[in-house]
Structure 1
Amino acid sequence: MTFRRSPLALAILGLLENGPMHPYGIQRLIKQWGKDQVVNVGQRTSLYRMMVRLEEAELITAGATERDERYPERTTYHLTDEGRRICREWLSEILTTPRNEFPEFPAALSFVMLVTPETAGELLSQRRELLTKRISELHLELRSEVDGQPIPRFALLETEYQVAVAIAEAKWIDGVLHDLQTGKLTWTPGPV
């Protein structure tokens, strides 16, 4: 069975490399390690559905079920040899091959002419402010510690990447805002 990769599937397989875990533990680790900035685990049901799909594809297998009066039943999952192989294959493909991922922002830019240049400038200025805040938050994350020790750089590479992308986007927006303000960029027809 061919399994379509996703960031969540890759995260699950990657975390199971360290040993058996139950879905709640996986979700908790993703959030603790800040990986929820690049992997959507907001809805636990999505995580559980993905675990079922990975098990059906024989990339993971269910192990023991833990019972504790304080918590619901928790089934522990193990990575299969095929799951380990697929995880490495996906990682290699993703790291080597750029791919168009269809993010929302470029899609919205493709229809920016539906608002006036003035409105576009206001909206992009708001985005620029939020990017500045996001860059500051990411810089704090890069300096975070666990048990008084700095987090190793390899564990923060995705955050470094997010900072670089946010800075590049902010710089690009600055250029567009400049061009809108100077009239170099417009889509409002002038007098005939």
Structure 2
Amino acid sequence: MTTGSRRSPLALTILGLLEDGPLHPYRMQHLIKQWGKDQVVNVGQRATLYKTIGRLAEAGLIEVHETTRDHLYPERTTYRLTDAGRAASREWLVEILSTPRNEFPEFPAALSFVPMLSPRTTRDLLAARRDLLVQRLADREALVREAGVELPRVSLLETEYLQAIIEAEIRWIDTVVAGLSDGSITWDQGQLQDAARRLDEDS
């Protein structure tokens, strides 16, 4: 099946929110924040949400349910899920859950150019990143505790995943910072140029 619409985390989130019934964009944005989906989905500005809604409507995955007018509020258009949208959300979930994909985050890209900096500067920057990750981990754990609601584990899977990723990155940074501190990870321009020259000769 082809949906005619490009898959994205925000598009999947909109389809998922509409599973429980029609919503207008403001309510969608509120629920994304309330349910912590903004931790895993980059909503950006409200214009981004409206643009994605428009794209899903053009593809026939959602449709206008009703438009209401009230002198106290601006005109509000409510959207509902179509059968095609329900099928698309299932298809996307199956693909995403079963098949890893290269997503090209910026941190690994920056790591590939670390030799532009000195080992000492790299060590200090990674140590600063570690401190921020530790704080982020503590903040996430506090949010879960402060919710004060006993949620089924399935509702917290994305939070568990993010925490596991942060914990793994902290452990990895610790090994790299240790290597940069004891000199087992080091480089200089001459060493890098020799490696690049050997690579050219072998290719």
TM, length-normalised to structure 1 = 0.94
Q: Tell me the distance in 2 between the aligned counterparts of 1:187 and 1:28.
A: 49
Q: Secondary structure of the equivalent of 2:74?
A: strand
> Displacement of 1:190 after TM fit?
7.9
Q: Deviations over 1:42-76 (max 9, x none)?
A: 31000000000000000000121122333221100
Aligned to 2:178: 178
Moved more, 25-34 or 134-143: 134-143
The offset of 1:189, in angstroms, is 5.3
Q: Counterparts of 1:151 and 1:42 in 2: how far apart (Å)?
A: 27
Alignment of 1:90-109 (within 5 A): 90-109=92-111
Q: Report deviation, 1:143.
A: 2.4
Identity %: 59
Write the distance in 2 (CA, Å) between the matches of 1:169 and 1:79: 38
Counterpart residue number, 1:168: 168
- Single out whichever of 69-78 and 158-167 deviates more from structure 2: 69-78
SS at match of 2:41: coil
- SS for the counterpart of 2:20 is coil
Q: How does 1:51-130 map to 2 (within 5 A)?
A: 51-130=53-132
Moved over 6 A (4+): none
Q: Which residue of 1 aligns with 2:198?
A: none
Please say if residues 15 and 26 of structure 1, whose CA atoms lie closer than 8 Å, have aligned partners that are also in contact: yes
Q: CA deviation at 1:3?
A: 1.4
Correspondence for 2:155: 155
User: 1:188: Cα distance to partner?
Assistant: 2.0
- Provide the rounded CA distance (Å) in 2 between the counterparts of 1:141 and 1:57: 37
Q: Which amino acid aligns with 2:86?
A: R
Report what 1:143 is aligned to: 145
CA drift of 1:100 comes to: 0.9
Q: Deviations over 1:119-152 (max 9, x none)?
A: 000100110000000110111233242xx53232
For residue 61 of structure 1, give the secondary structure of its aligned residue in structure 2.
Answer: strand
Q: Is the 8 A contact 1:62 1:76 kept in 2?
A: yes
Greater shift, 67-76 or 57-66, is seen at: 67-76
Q: Distance in 1 between matches of 2:149 and 2:180?
A: 46
- The Cα RMSD (Å) is 1.5
Does the 8 Å contact 1:58/1:80 carry over to 2? yes
Q: Which amino acid aligns with 1:95?
A: L
Query: Normalised by the size of structure 2, how large is the TM-score?
Result: 0.89
- The aligned amino acid for 2:45 is Q
Q: Aligned AA for 1:186?
A: T
Structure index of larger Rg? 2
For residue 42 of structure 1, give the secondary structure of its aligned residue in structure 2.
coil
Q: Deviations over 1:85-137 (max 9, x none)?
A: 00011011101111111001000000011110000001001100000001101
- Counterpart of 1:173 in structure 2: which amino acid? I
Question: For 2:156, what is the secondary structure of its paired residue?
Answer: helix
- In the superposition, relative to structure 1, how do residues 190 and 64 fare at CA in structure 2: closer, same or farther (>3 Å)? closer
Range moving further from structure 2, 148-157 or 106-115:
148-157
- Structure 1: state its 5+ residue gaps: none
- What is the aligned partner in structure 2 of residue 4 from structure 1? 6
1:141 corresponds to which letter in structure 2?
A: L
